[in-house]
């Protein structure tokens, strides 16, 4: 984009005018068989879902929201389709069945006064949970309470991932959590040192009953307000000083939670209480920095806040490890990477034989 007569520069130092000149050079035509370089890049395709219908509650007046009404959503999702077309593997594709299920789940459980609010909520969901680059969405009421309208009424929005990230100041959930969601037993979850609540909000939006815990009272108050704004009554907050000097931990009732998550927080004295708070077969998800991150990036500011190699395995040695990886991972907070330990572990519990599974 050329702005105010100045050519903006890319990371390589070339301005956009210089790139245009470069792409138009005859040598470039020979190198790319007569096609511009940009046309030889990995091309995007579209996933299209037409008229996804469900019963939802959307209306300005309480009376209109009191009763479900038929709503419809149409989606065009721009994404990379080449990996899936080459591998013929659903794991390399945007699964439109999962997209449809999540849209219906949000639409059927979360109320809103305006279709605009509902559409924004769906855009946030789509960009947070699926590898799409651009989304076009049409949300409409199929039977609007208007005397002279015989069709539908609705709103259309179209936005790129980058534009949505700029507009939406709310942080996305940890990538490791979204990757491991399928392992989690539905039920009651605890987010320890929840901070602004990106992970607590994510689990609550997936139907978990979530307790979010942090020592910052102001942050917890804001998280409670956000949960209310998003119509997530299944998220509750507690202000707790997790690092107080005590041997009594009433904030961690024994066998209380199906899921416990901890991200980028390390207080080693808490581990016995964390583990005891898991129900039989309950799952712990834990990710935080290793000492390698301090060595390479000098973050966190003190090395004591980092895990030693294999330390997380030792701290949770009485749990069954479902997944463990220690190394350099994509950052959950933006571009770049960080050295972390990632653990999924399960509390002991009654096992089921395959024929006993319901």
pTM strictly above 0.75: no
**What's the DSSP call for residue 79?**
E
Token pair, residue 330, equals 């994509």
pLDDT tens-digit profile of 110-169? 888 889 988 988 998 898 889 899 999 999 999 998 888 989 999 999 988 877 665 554
| Bridge partners, residue 329, by sequence | 338
Report how far residue 48's alpha carbon sits from residue 105's, in angstroms, rounded to the nearest whole number.
Answer: 19
DSSP annotation string for 205-247: HTT-EEEEEES-HHHHHHHHHHHHHTT-TTEEEEE--TTSS-S
Which of the residue ranges 13-17, 107-111, 313-317 would you say has the lowest mean pLDDT?
13-17
**87-107: b (≥16 Cβ within 10 Å) or e:** eeeeeebbeeeebeebbbebb
Report how far residue 101's alpha carbon sits from residue 84's, in angstroms, rounded to the nearest whole number.
Answer: 20
State in Å, rounded, how far the first CA of the chain is from the last one.
56
| pLDDT number for residue 62 | 80
What domains, with CATH codes, occur in the chain? 44-166 (3.30.1130.10), 175-356 (3.40.50.150)
pLDDT at 14 over 70: no
Report how far residue 118's alpha carbon sits from residue 253's, in angstroms, rounded to the nearest whole number.
Answer: 37
Average pLDDT over residues 48-56: 94
Token pair, residue 41, equals 């890049």
| pLDDT number for residue 342 | 97
Closest by CA to 10, choosing from 138, 314, 227, 20, is 20
Average pLDDT over residues 258-278: 97
List strand residue ranges (DSSP E) for the chain, in order: 2-3, 6-7, 44-56, 69-80, 134-141, 153-160, 188-192, 209-214, 235-239, 257-263, 278-289, 320-330, 337-346
pLDDT at 287 over 60: yes
| pLDDT number for residue 333 | 53
* 277: number of Cβ within 10 Å: 22
């Amino acid at each position: 984009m050329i702005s105010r007569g100045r050519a903006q520069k890319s990371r390589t130092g070339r301005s956009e005018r210089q790139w245009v000149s470069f792409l138009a050079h005859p040598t470039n035509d020979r190198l790319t068989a007569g096609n511009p370089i940009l046309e030889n890049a990995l091309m995007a395709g579209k996933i299209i879902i037409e008229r996804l219908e469900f019963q939802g509650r959307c209306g300005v007046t309480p009376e209109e929201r009191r009763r479900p009404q038929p709503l419809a959503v149409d989606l065009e999702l721009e994404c990379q389709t080449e990996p899936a077309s080459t591998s013929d593997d659903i794991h390399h594709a945007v699964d439109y069945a999962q997209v449809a299920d999540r849209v219906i789940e949000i639409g059927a459980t979360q109320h809103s006064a305006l279709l605009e609010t509902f559409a924004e909520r769906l855009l946030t969901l789509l960009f947070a949970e699926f590898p799409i680059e651009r989304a076009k969405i049409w949300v409409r009421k199929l039977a609007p309470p208007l005397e002279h309208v015989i069709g539908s009424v609705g709103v259309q929005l179209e936005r790129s991932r980058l534009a949505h990230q700029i507009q939406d100041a709310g942080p996305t959930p940890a990538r490791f959590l979204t990757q491991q969601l399928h392992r989690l037993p539905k039920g009651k979850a605890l987010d320890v040192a929840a901070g602004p609540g990106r992970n607590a909000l994510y689990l609550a939006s997936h139907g978990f009953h979530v307790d979010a815990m942090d020592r910052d009272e102001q942050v917890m108050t804001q998280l409670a307000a956000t949960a209310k704004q998003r119509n997530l009554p299944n998220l509750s907050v507690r202000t707790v000083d997790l690092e107080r000097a005590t041997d009594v931990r009433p904030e961690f009732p024994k066998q209380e939670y199906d899921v416990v998550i901890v991200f980028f927080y390390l207080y080693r004295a808490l581990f016995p209480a964390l583990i005891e708070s898991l129900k039989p077969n309950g799952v712990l998800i834990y990710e935080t920095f290793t000492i390698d991150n301090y060595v390479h990036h000098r973050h966190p500011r003190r090395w004591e806040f980092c895990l030693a190699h294999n330390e997380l395995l030792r701290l949770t040695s009485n749990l069954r490890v479902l997944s463990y990886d220690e190394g350099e991972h994509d950052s959950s907070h933006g571009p770049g990477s960080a050295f972390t330990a990632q653990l999924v572990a399960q509390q002991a519990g009654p096992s089921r034989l395959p024929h006993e599974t319901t």
